[in-house]
Structure 1
Amino acid sequence: MLRLEGVSHSYEARPVLRDITLDLAEHRIGVIGANGSGKSTLARTLNGLVVPDAGRVTLGEWDTRRHARHIRRRVGFVFSDAANQIIMPTVAEDVEIGLRSRKLGRQETARRVDALLERYGLADHRDHPGHLLSGGQKQLLALASVLATEPEVLVCDEPTTLLDLANTRMVHRVVDSLEQQVVLFTHDLDLLSSFDRVLVVDDGRIAYDGRPADAVDHYVKLMDGR
């Protein structure tokens, strides 16, 4: 289980996270908050992309401060702009790169790549450059590339921000179908109704923690009051 204990972080003396303590045990957890609330920094603490100035983030016995590589194998991360994660010449190679460290052998690696491309509707694009895909396909490729490593937890930082409604719904259908625990940071309040728990981040703190409908209501009232 991911756990945050007294996590605080600043950028150039500007606090962005303030003494956050959380146990993230539920299968589907949503995180919402205004721009500048600290939620993207919070997302990046979960797999060690950001190491907090104070406090610690752990997955079981592993600490992001000391075991970042180990945790990143278990906590996958999907960015809001999938283009930041597409680094190889072709779609298939982008999925394959996450498997290289596992030394599975050529046949098993090819089998897993083919299975993922088929699952996410990218099989017909396996030899195409990833940057030529549509926005929705790029996000699916980013998901497939992360899921190739078989993480225990998937952290998604606003993965539908750049997508239209159809592609947003497609990505959420995929996320909803995953066996992994998902921690989803999003502005799309309508897509959280089926989640187990939703956190509201405001001014670097957890302003609310509860059921989706109650959390969304709290967030809307918070924003209406500004």
Structure 2
Amino acid sequence: MDGIVLQGVNVDLGGKRVLSDLSLHLTEARIGLLGRNGSGKSTLLRLMAGLIAPSSGTVRVAGLDPARERKAMLGKIGILFQNPDHQILFPTVIEELSFGLQQMGQSRADAEAQVRAALLAEGRAHWESAPTHRLSQGQRQFLCLLAVLLMAPATLLLDEPFAGLDLPTQARLSRRLNAVPQRVVTISHDPAAVAGCQRVIWLEAGQIRADGPAGSVIAEFTAEMARLGAADADTDLLG
């Protein structure tokens, strides 16, 4: 089956149920996953990427089990984490960008040639030998995106992709993401980050609260967040 399919998925972490009875079929080109901090959004992203397995239920990406078929997932799913420092592994740009291609079976020489061509096309040929730690936050986030795009996955999973970026950098990254041909699933607590999506899913306490067109779901979410804010909703201690 095309797309990402979850059927009756539960996820338990540390003795706590984080996702409860989720069933979704994601096929749209631009999908938003919206929810407050702690709603289970990042866990859902990790589940779809195959970084964790469900406690029960099934997850399939293009018919494959992402947690069991990790090698095959390299061409199916690419993930961009909120913090690029959690993703960057190598000391120079060319090493970082060529790593994924080598994991997919390319020789080092072929991978580096493809990286140089990509950097040139992006107007960043001078980045080739740059130390990754010398790049700015926005540049490191772009580096991680480019590393993912070089592997040409069918779907991109973005975890709060604009967090910590200034407005011009957000605009540049948003423009680049809008141009990619892949399916893009954007996970955020910020309604503005998913406003351009065809479909938005509101996740609350590990369950689907709403699922539909961006306008209606965002309006419902925003109204509820305003209600909670007016009610001092953070006064209760966690159990």
Query: TM-score interval w.r.t. the shorter chain?
Result: over 0.9
CA distance in 2 between partners of 1:156 and 1:119 (Å): 23
CA distance in 2 between partners of 1:11 and 1:109 (Å): 38
Give the equivalent residue in structure 2 for 1:51: 53
Give the equivalent residue in structure 2 for 1:205: 207
CA distance in 2 between partners of 1:56 and 1:121 (Å): 42
CA distance in 1 between partners of 2:67 and 2:108 (Å): 34
Give the equivalent residue in structure 1 for 2:8: 6
Q: CA deviation at 1:110?
A: 2.9
* Residue aligned with 1:66, SS: coil
Give the equivalent residue in structure 2 for 1:40: 42
Structure 1, gaps ≥5 residues long:
none
The reply to whether residue 81 of structure 1 matches residue 88 of structure 2 is: no
CA distance in 2 between partners of 1:210 and 1:53 (Å): 27
Amino acid aligned to 2:131: P
| Alignment CA distance shift 1:106-1:66 (3 Å) | closer
Note the aligned Cα RMSD (angstroms): 1.6
Post-superposition Cα deviations, 1:132-178, rounded to whole Å, max 9, x if no partner, equal 10111101000011111111111011111121111112111111110
CA distance in 2 between partners of 1:42 and 1:16 (Å): 9
CA distance in 1 between partners of 2:81 and 2:201 (Å): 19
Q: CA deviation at 1:66?
A: 2.6
Q: CA deviation at 1:106?
A: 5.0
Select between 120-129 and 89-98 the one with higher mean Cα deviation: 120-129
Residues 66-77 of structure 1 aligned to structure 2 (within 5 Å):
66-77=68-79
Residues 139-154 of structure 1 aligned to structure 2 (within 5 Å):
139-154=141-156
Post-superposition Cα deviations, 1:58-86, rounded to whole Å, max 9, x if no partner, equal 01321124323322441011100011111
The reply to whether residue 63 of structure 1 matches residue 95 of structure 2 is: no
Amino acid aligned to 2:95: E
Give the equivalent residue in structure 2 for 1:175: 177
Q: CA deviation at 1:200?
A: 0.7
Q: CA deviation at 1:41?
A: 0.3
Give the equivalent residue in structure 1 for 2:224: 222
CA distance in 2 between partners of 1:64 and 1:106 (Å): 26
CA distance in 2 between partners of 1:171 and 1:188 (Å): 16
Select between 113-122 and 171-180 the one with higher mean Cα deviation: 113-122
Structure 1 stretches of 4+ moved >4 Å? none
Post-superposition Cα deviations, 1:19-69, rounded to whole Å, max 9, x if no partner, equal 100000000101110000000101111111121111111013211243233
Select between 165-174 and 19-28 the one with higher mean Cα deviation: 165-174
Normalised to the residue count of structure 2, the TM-score between the two structures is 0.89
Report the count of equivalent residues. 226
Looking at CA atoms only, which structure, 1 or 2, has the larger radius of gyration?
2
CA distance in 1 between partners of 2:158 and 2:109 (Å): 30
Q: CA deviation at 1:108?
A: 3.4
Q: 2:114 aligns with which of 112, 115, 125?
A: 112
Structure 2, gaps ≥5 residues long:
229-239
CA distance in 1 between partners of 2:70 and 2:109 (Å): 30
CA distance in 1 between partners of 2:123 and 2:24 (Å): 36
Q: 1:99 aligns with which of 98, 101, 107?
A: 101
Normalised to the residue count of structure 1, the TM-score between the two structures is 0.94
CA distance in 2 between partners of 1:66 and 1:8 (Å): 17
The reply to whether residue 29 of structure 1 matches residue 35 of structure 2 is: no
